[in-house]
Amino acid sequence: MFSINEIEDAAALVHRHMPPTPQYSWPLINRELGIETWVKHENHTPTGAFKVRGGITFIDWLKRSEPRASGICTATRGNHGQSQARAATAAGLKAKIYVPEGNSPEKNAAMSAFGAEVIIFGKDFDEARLEAMRVAEAEGLAVVPPFHRELARGVATYAYELFSAQPELDTVYVPIGCGSGICSTIAVRDALGLRTKVVGVVSTEAQAAKLSVEAGRLIETESARTFADGMAVRVPVQAAFDIYSTGAERIVAVSDDEVAEAIRTYFRCTHNVAEGAGAAPLAALQQEKARMAGKRVGVILCGGNIDTDKLITVMQGGTPEP
């Protein structure tokens, strides 16, 4: 997917806008799991999530490839939108961003604060995405799809940082929404010639990626009702599927209850806040800890942008409604 030179060029660009994020092995997590676990802290970026990296590279590419573009239009559950709003407005472009009904109010507020016009449309991400594509065409705005080579090239820089610091990991767990995270991790693993296994993580309530891999073709689900909104995708992306269906070791499904417990584990053991998708890799490792015993494992804490009311519910021992 990428040469090592393309990844290194992306890292140089991204690191002009933000420092690398840390990867820590926390003693209390290691003690609780009985596994040497390395957490990649993508909750420490300027938007609180990994997507910021793809915004940097995508908008840089857009300005070079379409210098007359006046703005962008995209759909999101929040982290992708913050990334695009931040990078687009910094480049002098307007950002029109569609979100579904019931979307995180705090993520909506963050996108607005980064300069986006936030429009609520549709019952879920996939309906919002179709409307965003229609409006972009009608208004002459540049489309930012949920998966794109330049988005993934930016996202790949977190895996490059992690694998450069910890090249001897046996397995890395990565959540799957539209696929930029897992695909970029696979791409960096392959470019560096590492033997690390990459395990995708989905919600039991949004299993489109897992079902598609098992079937060998794209499978859409009727709903994607999980409070882990970064994984709440009904319709897989073909280009991403083509990469993770062959490059991932397996895909694990975790329940909302397991995700909530992983959020509590992160706070109890590290005092970091994780959003649902951000905690899902740790939830999968907790589910598979017997299988991973004695191995060095990485988990991607891809974001920390959980709404206050949901965090309160989790920390009181509950599981939020979707």
HSE-CB of 162 using CA atoms within 13 angstroms: 37
Residues 59 and 10 in one domain: no
Separation of alpha carbons 86 and 90, rounded Å: 6
Instruction: Verify that 155 and 241 share a domain, yes or no.
Output: yes
Assigned domain for 321 exists: no
Q: Is residue 70 part of a domain?
A: yes
Q: Does one domain contain both 71 and 43?
A: no
Provide the CATH number for the domain around residue 86. 3.40.50.1100
What is the reported pLDDT for 34? 97
Residue 322 lies in a domain: no
Both 167 and 303 in one domain: the answer is yes
Q: Are residues 229 and 298 in the same domain?
A: yes
Residues 24 and 133 in one domain: no
| Tens of pLDDT, residue by residue, the chain (322 residues) | 999 999 999 999 999 999 999 999 999 999 999 999 999 999 999 999 999 999 999 999 999 999 999 999 999 999 999 999 999 999 999 999 999 999 999 999 999 999 999 999 999 999 999 999 999 999 999 999 999 999 999 999 999 999 999 999 999 999 999 999 999 999 999 999 999 999 999 999 999 999 999 999 999 999 999 999 999 999 999 999 999 999 999 999 999 999 999 999 999 999 999 999 999 999 999 999 999 999 999 999 999 999 999 999 999 999 999 9
Q: Which residues contact 306 (CB under 8 A, 6 or more apart)?
A: 263, 273, 274, 275, 276, 278, 314
Among the candidates 108, 128, 143, a domain finishes at 143
pLDDT score recorded for residue 27: 98
Residues 191 and 167 in one domain: yes
**Quick one: 158 and 186 in the same domain?**
yes
Of 122, 143, 164, the position where a domain reaches its end is: 143
The answer to the question of residue 106 being in a domain is yes
How many CB atoms neighbour CB 34 within 10 A?
12
Same domain, 35 and 131: no
Domain that holds residue 298: 4-50+149-315
Q: Write down the pLDDT at residue 55.
A: 98
Q: Is residue 163 part of a domain?
A: yes
State the pLDDT at residue 199: 98
Residues 275 and 79: their CA atoms lie apart, in Å, by 11
Shared-domain flag, residues 290 and 187? yes
320 within a domain of the structure (yes/no): no
Domain count for the chain: 2
- Other Cβ atoms less than 10 A from the Cβ of 240: the count is 23
The reply to whether 286 and 139 lie within a common domain is: no
| pLDDT at residue 267, as a whole number | 98
Last residue within a domain, chosen from 143, 158, 188: 143
Same domain, 13 and 159: yes
Whether 99 is covered by a domain: the verdict is yes
Q: Is residue 129 part of a domain?
A: yes
Distance CA 88, CA 62 (A): 10
